[in-house]
């Protein structure tokens, strides 16, 4: 796929239709800016090689399909631990989404035998599954066109736990590399979609945040996500997910949910 998810327009970054989300045709799917911010953090300088181990996103406002400013900075530098942040603002300066990232040095540690044991990946690989084509009523273009989604169990937007493989196929931004950390972030934001707590349509269940913890980065293009959600009558909920690659579990993710009845 040649069309990028974001394009440059002077000093602005502009989401293309491939960044569109399912809730509002004029706003981004959370996975698109999540991937962009993760890749931006990955590009920050560090005194030694670093790996992102925690990403904490605050989705303060919907990210529109409109010109945005992209910024980043190192908050605390060090040779063992680095704290960094990246954020997106509207053209008028209103902050829309922020990622706070914890990065740890990449080194070599001799561990006792059998110390590193990953949970197994999904039994069914992506090659054995059909590509998801979206749902009735969704726009022709959206983030689900930029990402190849293969459902292992459950169904996107139907209530109940779900597991799926994800592979980002579109370029992210012409001068920003789609890193393994960004691939993990893109997949993680699909948790409340594949592990929906309620039927999509009659109910709204959007995530105003996303937290990703990784003990290792995914290897290869495919990232698997196993998600389940709970909701409360107070109008909030939680989606908990496990992230894997072909070798096994790589981390976890969580999303707080804002829940509303749209009937």
pTM: 0.92
DSSP class per residue in 97-147: EEEEEEEEE-----PPTT---PPPPPSS-GGGSPPP---TTS-SSSHHHHE
**Buried-exposed string 72-104: b where 16+ CB fall within 10 A, e elsewhere:** bebeeeeeeebebbbbbbeeeeeebbbbbbbbb
Domain ranges, ordered by start, for the chain: 6-106+126-261
pLDDT per position as a tens digit, 107-160:
888 888 766 667 788 889 999 999 987 666 555 678 888 999 999 999 887 899
Compute the average pLDDT of residues 97-105. 97
Cβ atoms of 33 and 63 within 8 Å: the answer is yes
Superfamily of structural domain 6-106+126-261:
Acyl-CoA thioesterase, double hotdog domain (2.40.160.210)
């Amino acid at each position: 796929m040649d069309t990028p998810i974001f394009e440059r327009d002077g000093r602005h970054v502009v989401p293309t239709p491939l960044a569109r989300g399912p809730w509002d045709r004029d706003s981004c799917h959370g996975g698109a800016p999540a991937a962009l911010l993760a890749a931006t953090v990955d590009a920050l300088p560090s005194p030694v090689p670093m790996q992102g181990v925690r990403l904490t996103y605050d989705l303060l406002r919907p990210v529109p399909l409109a010109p945005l400013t992209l910024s980043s900075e190192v908050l605390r530098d060090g040779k063992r631990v680095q704290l960094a942040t990246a954020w997106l603002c509207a053209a008028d300066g209103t902050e829309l989404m922020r990622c706070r990232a914890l990065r740890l040095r990449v080194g070599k540690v001799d561990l006792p035998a059998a110390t590193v044991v990953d949970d197994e990946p999904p039994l069914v690989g992506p090659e054995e599954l059909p590509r998801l084509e979206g749902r009735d009523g969704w726009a022709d273009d959206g983030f689900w066109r930029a990402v190849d989604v293969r459902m292992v169990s459950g169904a996107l937007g139907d209530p109940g736990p779900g597991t799926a493989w994800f592979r980002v196929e579109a370029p992210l931004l012409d001068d920003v590399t789609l890193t393994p950390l960004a691939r993990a972030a893109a997949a993680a934001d699909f948790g409340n979609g594949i592990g929906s707590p309620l039927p999509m349509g009659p109910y709204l269940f959007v995530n105003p945040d996303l937290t990703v913890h990784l003990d290792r980065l995914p290897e290869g293009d495919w990232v698997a996500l196993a998600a389940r959600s709970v909701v409360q009558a107070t109008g909030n909920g939680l989606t908990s997910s496990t992230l894997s690659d072909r070798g096994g579990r790589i981390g976890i993710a969580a999303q707080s949910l804002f829940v509303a009845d749209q009937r």
